[in-house]
Amino acid sequence: MAHHTLTLRQYSILGLVALCAPLGDTCLSRGMTQLPPITLAHPLTLIAAVFTPWIGAGIALLIGFFASYLTALSWADLTFVLPATAIGNVIVALLSRFWLHEPISPQRWAGIALITVGVSFVANGPSYTEPPVHVSSAALVDAAEEEQVR
C-alpha cells in the first residue's frame, strides 16, 4: 500500500485543504469586520458572533479544512502537505484579482510565482516516505512491480 503517486480522490482532498483554509479565513475576516468592536468586558458578544452567516460559514470551512488536512496527513508526508496548502493563498489572490478586480502589487506577483514554482517542485516528487522497517520489503515489492510492468 505504497502511496507514492496519488489517486484523483487524494488530489481532491489536497485541493480541499488548499482552498478551505484561505476561504475560511476570508469569511471570518469579512464577518468580524462587519461587527461592532468586541471588548473583553462583553465576552458574550463573541458567542453571538459565531451565529452570524459569514462567521458561521468561515467556521464550517475551517472544520472542513482540518478534516481534510488530517486525512491528507494520514497518507502523505508533512513536508508534502504543507507546501501544497500554500497554493490556496495563490488561488485566493488570483480570485481577488480577476473576480473582485483588486490590484496585485509586483511584490505579490513575485510571491505567487515563487509559491507556484515551489509547490510544483514537491508535487513532482514522491508524496510519502516509507517507514524504515518496511523499506526493504516495500522496495522489493516496488522493484518486482516495475519488473512486471516492463
Partner 1 sequence: MIVPSSVATTGPWAASAMIAAIILTSTAGEVLTAKAMKSIGDLDDIRAQSGMKGAIRAVVTCPLFFAGVSFLALGFFSLLFALNHLNLSLVAPASASLTLVTNAVAAKFFLHENVDRRRWTAAVLVCVGVYFLAH
Closer to partner 1 by Cβ: residue 53 or 143? 143
**Considering only residues 16, 28, 55, 93, which one is a binding residue for partner 1 as defined by CB under 8 A?**
93
Q: Roughly what angle, to the nearest 10 degrees, separates helices 78-98 and 106-123? A: 140
- Judged by CB under 8 A, does residue 53 bind partner 1? no
50 sits near partner 1 (criterion: CB under 8 A): no
Task: Evaluate whether 125 touches 56 at the Cβ level (below 8 Å).
Answer: no
The binder of partner 1 chosen from 50, 60, 113, 143 (CB under 8 A): 113
Q: Which of 30, 18, 93 is nearest to 59 (CA)?
A: 30
User: Integer distance in angstroms from the first to the last C-alpha of the chain?
Assistant: 20
Q: Find where cell 514522491 sits.
A: 126
- How far is residue 26 CA from its own chain's centroid? 14
Among 32, 49, 118, 138, binds partner 1 (CB under 8 A): 118
Closest CB 10 distance from partner 1, rounded Å:
8
| Binding positions for partner 1, 119-148, rule CB under 8 A | 119, 121-122, 124-126, 129, 131-132
What are the b/e assignments for 119-149, b being 16+ CB within 10 Å? beebeeeebeebeeeeeeeeeeeeeeeeeee
Toward partner 1, which CB reaches closer, 57 or 115? 115
Residue 83 lies near partner 1 (rule: CB under 8 A): yes
Instruction: Return the residues of window 6-35 that contact partner 1 according to CB under 8 A.
Output: 9-10
95 φ, ψ (degrees, to nearest 5): -60, -45
Which residues form the interface with partner 1 (CB under 8 A)? 1, 3, 9-10, 70-71, 73-75, 77-83, 86, 89-90, 93, 107-108, 110-119, 121-122, 124-126, 129, 131-132
